[in-house]
A and B are shown apart, each in its own frame.
Chain A
């Protein structure tokens, strides 16, 4: 590698991380920072804002979210699926923000992945890794997890796992030994479509 490649890489990575921070929110319950969330809908066309996180990040019905621009909003859990470890939070956005773009082409083993989270209260931390494996495709069955060779720490839960172009690949959920597991973005998309029905307050 020549120095210019390394410099270009460093710049590109910093720019990619910067963009991903815009779709990463902090999710707090009872005032304590508990995890991260993905800004699924930033309130475009007058819709309510929607944040996706892990079910294990928000145990109660309410949470406070902090967006990347520092805006704080109260959010309500409108859907939860403990089996998939997903939760959807609704909030009233102050202003419309860019929402997540989901990667729809197949993933390739070895491609770069970036995870954003807030480990130990460090807001907007990034880690870089690669796709560790694709689950063996069985007829008509979507993969349960995105398997990433990425070091995650507590605080990354619920945050985005994205590809080199910044498109969402998954929602970071847990570590299994050295392996990071994320709920596939396509599974999140399907879940949001089918189960995002406002619950009675």
Chain B
């Protein structure tokens, strides 16, 4: 029989075995535990949606022992959570930041929904560009996977053929479709959560809809483009409401940049934007008006 087939089989099992030494089970919800990856010494990365309690969290380590873990912070936006695991001898994951995963690359998803390690294999089916989740979190390049999901998939690592970690798997970011949050994003979120405990995200508390400004008005107001954003909802007492933005205002520019869809607005916010005023150019009652909008910090449990 083929030695190539046998070599592949052995290498896959080797990759699973070595990467599996850094995969733990996280007990923080009812029923089936989820997975976590020992990312840095004493730091375990898991998924936010599988951690339903903030206290009494335990981890089952690869050697079968149980250890207490404490929640260092969580980010619903990227569905990541960071836990601390003190004084345990667990291998640290070997991360692959470069080269980036390619479409068609053979990958394995690991999980530990209890004492035993689980694996499923498949390929990377898509590599997205920078992408914002519905809660405004930025993910550098989300990976879509063609593989089967088993219990404990979320919070487990996606690994390559030699056992290096490509990211953290979750089934909660894309309506049940298996995706992987890439290493670069996980690194950024882990650093921020360890420092601040939360991910600060600026927000205005508005809902908008793209509209086309009538040509005559666009000419009269000397607009560069004719697409703009109609303010269709306003969070009562939210940052934009406090700063005097009204329902029905048409947002043309924010922070000096033209805005024609919601992503343009999010691009002006980010984590550093909290408390920094942005100049807003709006059409109100047929006239152009300038306003100062100061983004607030997005409450973690709320959308918009």
Is the C-beta of A110 less than 8 angstroms from some C-beta in chain B?
Answer: yes
Contact indicator B116/A149 (Cβ below 8 Å): no
- State in angstroms the CA–CA spacing of A16 and B7 once bound together: 14
A124-149 CB contact bits vs B (8 Å, 1 = yes)?
Answer: 00000111111110000000000101
Is the C-beta of B33 less than 8 angstroms from some C-beta in chain A?
Answer: no
Residue of B nearest to A14 (CB): B2
Contact indicator B2/A136 (Cβ below 8 Å): no
With contacts A109-B17, A112-B9 known, is A130 near B121, CB below 8 A?
yes
Residue of A nearest to B111 (CB): A133
- State in angstroms the CA–CA spacing of A149 and B111 once bound together: 13
B1-34 CB contact bits vs A (8 Å, 1 = yes)?
Answer: 1111110111011111100100000000000000
A157-169 CB contact bits vs B (8 Å, 1 = yes)?
Answer: 0000001111000
Contact indicator B5/A16 (Cβ below 8 Å): yes
Interface size class of B (residues with CB under 8 A): 20 to 34
Contact indicator A178/B120 (Cβ below 8 Å): yes
Residue of A nearest to B64 (CB): A136
A115: shortest Cβ distance to chain B, in Å?
14
Q: Within the complex, which residue of A12, A110, A111 is in contact with B4, where a contact is CB–CB below 8 Å?
A: A12
Is the C-beta of A11 less than 8 angstroms from some C-beta in chain B?
Answer: yes
Contact indicator B3/A109 (Cβ below 8 Å): no
Is the C-beta of A8 less than 8 angstroms from some C-beta in chain B?
Answer: yes
A166: shortest Cβ distance to chain B, in Å?
5
- State in angstroms the CA–CA spacing of A149 and B149 once bound together: 10
With contacts A112-B8, A130-B119, A136-B114 known, is A179 near B13, CB below 8 A?
no
Residues on the A chain within 8 Å of B12, using CB: 110-112, 130
- State in angstroms the CA–CA spacing of A178 and B148 once bound together: 6
Residues on the A chain within 8 Å of B150, using CB: 132, 149, 177-179
Is the C-beta of A108 less than 8 angstroms from some C-beta in chain B?
Answer: yes
Residues on the B chain within 8 Å of A8, using CB: 2, 4
Residues on the B chain within 8 Å of A165, using CB: 1, 6
How many residues in A have their beta carbons less than 8 Å from beta carbons of B? 31
Residues on the B chain within 8 Å of A133, using CB: 116-119
Contact indicator B6/A164 (Cβ below 8 Å): yes
- State in angstroms the CA–CA spacing of A110 and B17 once bound together: 8
Q: Within the complex, which residue of B2, B20, B116 is in contact with A12, where a contact is CB–CB below 8 Å?
A: B2
Contact indicator B2/A129 (Cβ below 8 Å): no
Number of A-B contacts (CB under 8 A): 94
Residues on the B chain within 8 Å of A134, using CB: 116
Q: Within the complex, which residue of A11, A112, A135, A163 is in contact with B116, where a contact is CB–CB below 8 Å?
A: A135
A138: shortest Cβ distance to chain B, in Å?
11
B119-131 CB contact bits vs A (8 Å, 1 = yes)?
Answer: 1110000000000
- State in angstroms the CA–CA spacing of A14 and B14 once bound together: 24
Residues on the A chain within 8 Å of B147, using CB: 149
Residue of B nearest to A108 (CB): B13
Q: Within the complex, which residue of A5, A110, A136, A163 is in contact with B119, where a contact is CB–CB below 8 Å?
A: A110
- State in angstroms the CA–CA spacing of A12 and B4 once bound together: 7
Is the C-beta of A15 less than 8 angstroms from some C-beta in chain B?
Answer: yes
Residues on the B chain within 8 Å of A15, using CB: 1-2
Contact indicator B120/A11 (Cβ below 8 Å): no
Residue of A nearest to B120 (CB): A149
8 nearest A-B residue pairs (beta carbon): A12-B2, A110-B16, A108-B13, A164-B9, A178-B148, A112-B9, A12-B5, A8-B4
Residues of B bordering A, CB below 8 Å:
1-6, 8-10, 12-17, 20, 108, 114-121, 147-150
Query: Can you spell out 22 A-B residue pairs with CB atoms less than 8 angstroms apart?
Result: A5-B4, A11-B4, A13-B2, A108-B13, A109-B17, A109-B119, A110-B13, A110-B17, A110-B108, A110-B121, A129-B121, A130-B119, A134-B116, A149-B119, A149-B121, A149-B147, A163-B9, A164-B2, A165-B1, A166-B1, A177-B150, A178-B149
Residues of A bordering B, CB below 8 Å:
5, 8-9, 11-13, 15-16, 19, 108-112, 129-136, 147, 149, 163-166, 177-179
In the complex, besides A108-B13, A110-B108, A149-B147, 20 extra interface pairs with C-beta distance below 8 angstroms are A8-B2, A8-B4, A9-B8, A11-B2, A12-B2, A16-B1, A16-B5, A19-B1, A109-B20, A110-B14, A110-B17, A111-B12, A112-B9, A131-B13, A135-B116, A149-B121, A149-B150, A163-B9, A177-B150, A178-B150
